[in-house]
Amino acid sequence: MRPFDGKRVLLGVTGGIASYKSAWLARLLTKAGAQVDTVLSRSAAEFIGAVTFEALTGRPVHTGLFDPGHALDHIRLAREANAIVVAPATADFLARAATGQADDLLAAILLANQSPVLLVPAMNDRMWAHGQTQHNVARLRELGYTLVEPDEGMLAAGEGSGPGRMPEPETIFAHVGRLLEDEGTLVGRHVLVTAGPTRESIDPVRFISNHSSGKMGVAIAAAAWRRGATVDLIAGPMSASTPIGATVRAVESTEDMADAVKELLPAADVMIMAAAPADFRPAHVATSKIKKSAAPDAMALAQPPDILSTTRSARRPGTVVVGFALETDKPLDGGRTKLEAKDLDLIVVNDATEPGAGFSVDTNRVTLLARDGGEEHLPLMSKADVADAILDRVEEVLRGR
C-alpha cells in the first residue's frame, strides 16, 4: 500500500496509559506493508509487553541502550528508518528530546537520526497546558520534528476530559503516511475535491438523490493531503467518513455545492469533481409534507445548475480540472463528450452496471481520458489505489504547466 510498501518505520513507545493504542498502530503499519521496528522505553514496558509488538509486527522489540551485543543499535536503527513515530510521547520524553538528552535507546536514536520524525504527545491536560511543556513543544518544532496535537476527550480514570488524549491510531497512521510520501508537485498546492451525492427537496421530509457514498471523493482528498496538499473537501450527505487533514464543508443541494465551489475554486490549483450531484430537482418544492392521499400523479422536474459548467469562470488560469462520468450506456463516448464540453484536463469514466465498480463499494474500475487524447484503462482496484492513479496523472499535468 502506498506509501508504506517496503518502508522501515521505527515505532517508539513511551510510558503512558495510551500505549495500548500503539499496538493497533503497529498492526496498521504492518498491514500496510511497512517493516516496523518497535522501541519500548523502560516505563512503557510497565504498561504493555514486548511480546505484543513482536506478535503484531513479526519483528524483535528493542529496549535497552546497553544490552549485550546491541551497543550500536541506536545508530543502526536510526540509519535504517525511513520515518520515526513516537506514540505516545510523554511529557518527560518531550522534555528530554527537546534538550537533546540520550539517556535511553529511543532518545539516542533521535539524536542519530536523519529521517522525518512524528511525535504524538499524550498526557494529562494540565501537564499538556503547562508552560514548560509548551516551550518544549515549540523547541521540538524548531528542530524540525512534526507533532500531532493531542485530542480532547476522556483522560485516565478519574481525570475527566480535556486536551491531552492521544489521537486514534488511524489518525496517527495517516500522518505517518504523509511523512513517508515522496515529495511531488502537490506539496504546498491547494486541492479542491467534491464528494458524495446532493439532495433536492420534494417537501420538508423527502428528497431526490442517488446512491453515492462519497467513498471515491474521500479517497482522493485523503491521498492529496498525504501528498502534501492543502485540501478542501465539499461533501454532500454521505456515508463515508471524512478524511484526516482535509477542511470539510458540508452541503445539501446541488446549488449549495455549486456556490461552495465558486467560493473556493479561485484559490485552487486543482479541482476534482468526484461528487455525484443530483441531475434533477422538483420544479416546485412543497412547503409542508405531501400526504399520501394528496400525492400527485406526476411531478414536474427541473435541472439544478451544472457545477462544472457554471463555475468555469471561477477557475484561475492553469487550474487542473478533473471530472467524473458515471455511465450505463457507451461510457467512453459519454466521457469524451463531457471532457470537451466542460473543458476538463482529465475525466474519470466508469460503468455503473459493472460489479465491484460505481456507488457504495470500496473498489472501482475506471478509464482515464485526457485532454490530449490519452486513454488509460485501469483494472479493478481499491478506490484508494484509483485515487493515487488519478493524482499521478494530475501531477503529470501540473509538471507540464
Structure confidence by residue, pLDDT tens digits, 314-347: 999 999 999 999 988 899 999 999 999 999 999 9
pLDDT tens per residue, range 148-159: 999 987 776 566
Higher pLDDT, 190 or 64: 190
Confidence of residue 356 (pLDDT cuts 50, 70, 90): confident
Q: How far apart are CA 167 and CA 172, in angstroms?
A: 7
- The grid coordinates listed for 180 are 513517508
Q: What is the pLDDT of residue 71?
A: 65
pTM of the model: 0.94
CA 189 centroid distance within chain = 15
Question: C-alpha grid cell for residue 131?
Answer: 508552560
The ranges assigned to domains in the chain are 8-180, 190-278+296-399
pLDDT averaged over the chain? 95
Going by pLDDT thresholds of 50, 70 and 90, the confidence category of residue 122 is very high
- Specify whether domain 8-180 bears CATH 3.40.50.1950: yes
Q: What is the pLDDT of residues 80-115, one digit of tens each?
A: 999 999 999 999 999 999 999 999 999 999 999 999
Mean per-residue pLDDT, 202-223: 96
Catalytic positions, written as ranges: 210
Instruction: Give the model's pLDDT for residue 153.
Output: 79
Reported confidence tier of residue 380, pLDDT bands at 50, 70, 90: very high
Instruction: Give the CATH fold of the 190-278+296-399 domain.
Output: Rossmann fold (3.40.50)
C-alpha cell at 225: 493531503
In order, the DSSP letters of 217-252 are HHHHHHHHHHTT-EEEEEE-S-SSPPPTT-EEEE--
Q: 8-180 with 190-278+296-399: one CATH topology?
A: yes
